[in-house]
Amino acid sequence: MTVIFSKKCEVGLQSVLFLSTQDKGKLFNALEVSKEVKQPKEFVSKMLQILTASGIVGSKKGKNGGFFLAKEAKSIKLIDIVGAIDGLEVFNNCVLGFPGCSVQEPCPVHNKWGKIRDEAFKMLSEETLLDLQSKTINKLKDLGQLLSK
C-alpha cells in the first residue's frame, strides 16, 4: 500500500488504467477487470461504480453489459481518479493529522512534506491515461507472467 493513496484508490487507478489500454467502446465486466489487475472482484466492482458516478467510467447494464472509459484517455488525468475516490484532502491537510498545521504553525514534517505533496500533485495533474498506456500494457503483462509462474 502506498503512503498517499488508500487501497481503494490504488484499485481504482489500476482498473481505469486497464480500461484505457482497451479498444474504445469495448465492455468489460468487473470480473474481467479484476483478473487483469489481480484484485478482488468485489473491490474492483465497487471502485468502478464510484468512478461511473464521477463520469470517468461508463457502464452498460444487462447481460452483455460492462464498464468502459466514459471519456477519451487523453482527457483523463490521474488526479481526476484520485479525487473521485480519495478526494484531494491529502494535498491540503497535514500529513501527520495535526489540526491547524500551516506555514505559520508547521508540524514537524511540514516543509519536507509540502515539497513532496506539491510534486505529487503536479505529476498526477499532468499525466493522462494516454501518456501512461504503453507502460500500463507492460505492467499488466508483467502481472500476468508473475502469476503464471
Question: What pLDDT is attached to residue 146?
Answer: 52
From the number of C-beta atoms within 10 Å of its C-beta (0-12, 13-18, 19+), residue 89 rates as exposed
Spatial separation of the C-alpha atoms in residues 21 and 65, rounded to whole Å: 19
* Cα 57 from chain centroid (whole Å): 12
Say whether pLDDT at 35 is over 70: yes
Domain ranges of the chain: 7-148
Question: What pLDDT is attached to residue 148?
Answer: 47
Task: Give the CA count within 13 Å in the CB-facing half-sphere of 56.
Answer: 27
Q: Which fold has domain 7-148?
A: Arc Repressor Mutant, subunit A (1.10.10)
Read off the pLDDT of residues 37-70 as tens digits, 9 standing for 90 and up. Answer: 999 999 999 999 999 999 999 999 988 899 999 9
Residue among 13, 83, 87, 74 at smallest CA distance from 47 = 13
Instruction: Tell me the average pLDDT of the chain.
Output: 90
Spatial separation of the C-alpha atoms in residues 113 and 31, rounded to whole Å: 38
Its pTM stands at 0.86
Read off the pLDDT of residues 104-137 as tens digits, 9 standing for 90 and up. Answer: 999 999 999 889 989 999 999 999 999 999 899 8
The torsion defined by the Cα of 24, 10, 119 and 79, in degrees rounded to 10, comes to 40
